[in-house]
Amino acid sequence: MKQGAVAAGHPETARAAAMVLENGGNAFDAALAAFLASCVAEPVLSSLGGGGFLLARPAGRPPKVLDFFVQTPRRKLRESACDFRPVTADFGTTTQQFHAGFAAMAVPGAVRGVFDAHAALGRMPLKELAEPARMLARDGLTVNPQQAYVFSVVKAILALSADSRALFFRRSDDGTVSDTPLQAGDTFRHPLLADVLDALTHEGPDLFYRGEIARALTDAHAEHGGHLTAEDLRTYRTHIRDPLSVKHDDITIHTNPPPSSGGTLIAFGLEMLRGQALHKLAWGSRAQRRLLARVMDLTGAARATLEVQHGDEWRDRLLDPALLETWRSQIEGRASAYRGTTHISVVDAAGNAAALTVSNGEGSGWMIPGTGIIMNNMLGEEDLLPGGGGPGGPDWLSWPTDSRMTSMMAPTLAIHRDGGEWVLGSGGSRRIRSALLQVLANLFTYGMPLDDAITAPRLHCENGRLSLECDLPDGLAEEWRDPVLWPERNMYFGGVHAVQRTRSGGLDAFADPRRDGAALIV
């Protein structure tokens, strides 16, 4: 009998989940083990210094979302006192500016989230769930081409501190740290993190939020120009929310609700496609891509407009039926003139389903002393801050204090009326919403099998700028300002990892090759 299926962003991440399933753990145990392993195998994208969301559907019960995303600090330093540094990530075909340093760090929720999810949903001891990650960190693993590429993209951030350089850069023959990040085939070891995982599973989350690790973090912030205080850590809590649920033809889609943005924007995109006869447009045709691009562009415009009018309440207004009709009417005839995340999908034989999306941004370039925990740079993420959805960009110190930050992350569960279900999510900054929208359309409008739905070339449009994978259909070049063509599939367009359970109980799993994903059925 099959124990379950997993799809994740790295073979070792997926293997950790599979080991847990084989040893009698449930889908939630497996997802937590995979997350901890991803902190070693995907160290730029995933960290105990970041946060995330778990959409959990226990068998026979309605789904819930555990929100352990980052929180803004309770105080805000004056700009002149902040350690806040602009850095450029180089994707090869395009670049994107981020900010790093101490003042870019938000209150991390990952550790609290792991313990709270385990207490509510887990079956196996947490120490056993952490063992695959601890072994990876202690023994090391070979850097694969995808992770080497990620290191090269954020090289400028990884070079910001001596601890980070020592972890992520090659050493010269004389033992000094070179200027070259680790390459494919090199060995990556993280022994400090192995020790911290062992300590956390013995001492509990207070070690991180009240104890020695908390003191190391807040002392450094006081010294180096960061916002975080002991009260920020001591008062952090996981929030449990009902998912945002929408109907789309024969499918009910459950995804991340407000205050996060991604789920709402995906639901908006699906509503914009309703009535547009997408199924009559040949997949990959100019007309099909044109419609998708316009829907994506309208989604960004709707967010920007409502954010100006209503501030943070825009998420509660975007799906208003009258407003939807106003925006839907602009699809035809409309003149046509980015984030470090990973995802884990798991189902088990008992009927449990887990969609876990986590992020550390691109990292702040700094690790908590003596722990190997890489801190996030969420306060340096344009798309998470007020104004970040529009062309004018954000005011970097405009964030409200002591507030759960928004996110594009959208762990998702789709259930067909015949009982089949799909568990999926994606990394990819602003491209999360467009990646998931296209995969959902491929699955449910075009009837593609799971692998084809994920590997099909994607596009993304925002602020009037169109980016496409693989080819540019005739005519679109004239309709969009300076379209960007990516000759091959690229991690820029997200990384959708998904598992499927058919109505008869059959399992399938597929992980996005754009992020060197891995899928296992055990």
Q: Mind listing the pLDDT tens digit for each residue in 39-95?
A: 999 999 999 999 999 999 999 999 999 999 999 999 998 888 888 888 877 666 666
Q: Which of 21-35, 44-58, 339-353, 370-384 has the lowest mean pLDDT?
A: 370-384
The most confident of the ranges 20-34, 360-374, 465-479, 486-500 is: 20-34
Give, to the nearest 10 degrees, the angle between helix 126-139 and helix 27-41: 20
Residue-level pLDDT at 114: 98
pLDDT surpassing 70 at residue 336: no
Task: Look up residue 228 and give its two tokens.
Answer: 């975080």
Residue-level pLDDT at 103: 92
Residue-level pLDDT at 328: 46
Mean pLDDT within 252-280: 81
What pLDDT, in 10s, does the model give residues 395-426?
677 788 998 887 888 999 999 999 999 999 99
Residue-level pLDDT at 386: 53
Q: What letters, b where the CB count within 10 A reaches 16 and e where it falls short, cover 377-403?
A: bbbbbbbbbbbbbbeeebebeebeeee
Residues 376, 360 contacting (CB under 8 angstroms): yes
pLDDT surpassing 90 at residue 117: yes
pLDDT surpassing 90 at residue 318: no
- Rounded distance between C-alpha atoms, residue 184 and residue 164, angstroms: 18
From first CA to last CA, the distance across the chain in angstroms is 9
pLDDT surpassing 70 at residue 304: no
Residues 492, 434 contacting (CB under 8 angstroms): no
- Print the domain residue range for 97: 1-522
HSE of 305 in the Cβ direction (CA atoms, 13 Å)? 11
- Strand ranges, E, within 387-475: 412-416, 421-427, 459-462, 465-469
pLDDT surpassing 70 at residue 363: yes
List residues with catalytic annotation: 341
Average pLDDT in the chain: 87
pLDDT surpassing 50 at residue 253: yes
Q: Which of 96-105, 133-142, 327-336 has the lowest mean pLDDT?
A: 327-336
pLDDT surpassing 50 at residue 333: no
pLDDT surpassing 90 at residue 222: yes
Q: Which of 3-17, 107-121, 389-403, 481-495 has the lowest mean pLDDT?
A: 389-403
Mean pLDDT within 346-375: 94
Mean pLDDT within 357-372: 92
Which of 197, 43, 41 minimizes the C-alpha distance to 114?
A: 197
Query: Which one-letter amino acid corresponds to residue 269?
Result: G
What pLDDT, in 10s, does the model give residues 145-164?
989 988 998 899 999 999 99
pTM for this structure?
0.89
Which of 157, 51, 145 minimizes the C-alpha distance to 100?
A: 157
Residues 49, 68 contacting (CB under 8 angstroms): no
- How many structural domains comprise the chain? 1
pLDDT surpassing 90 at residue 394: no
Residue-level pLDDT at 482: 77
Mean pLDDT within 364-378: 93
pLDDT surpassing 70 at residue 21: yes
pLDDT surpassing 90 at residue 380: no
Which of 70, 443, 428, 65 minimizes the C-alpha distance to 244?
A: 65
How do beta strands 465-469 and 484-486 pair? parallel
Residue-level pLDDT at 48: 98
Residue-level pLDDT at 334: 29
What pLDDT, in 10s, does the model give residues 171-218?
988 889 999 999 999 999 999 999 999 999 999 999 999 999 999 999
pLDDT surpassing 50 at residue 354: yes
* pLDDT band at residue 337 using 50, 70 and 90 as cut-offs: very low
What pLDDT, in 10s, does the model give residues 460-502?
887 778 888 887 776 676 677 678 888 888 888 899 999 999 9
HSE of 313 in the Cβ direction (CA atoms, 13 Å)? 4
Residue-level pLDDT at 326: 52
Residue-level pLDDT at 250: 87
pLDDT surpassing 70 at residue 317: no
More confident residue, 281 or 40: 40
How do beta strands 169-171 and 421-427 pair? unpaired
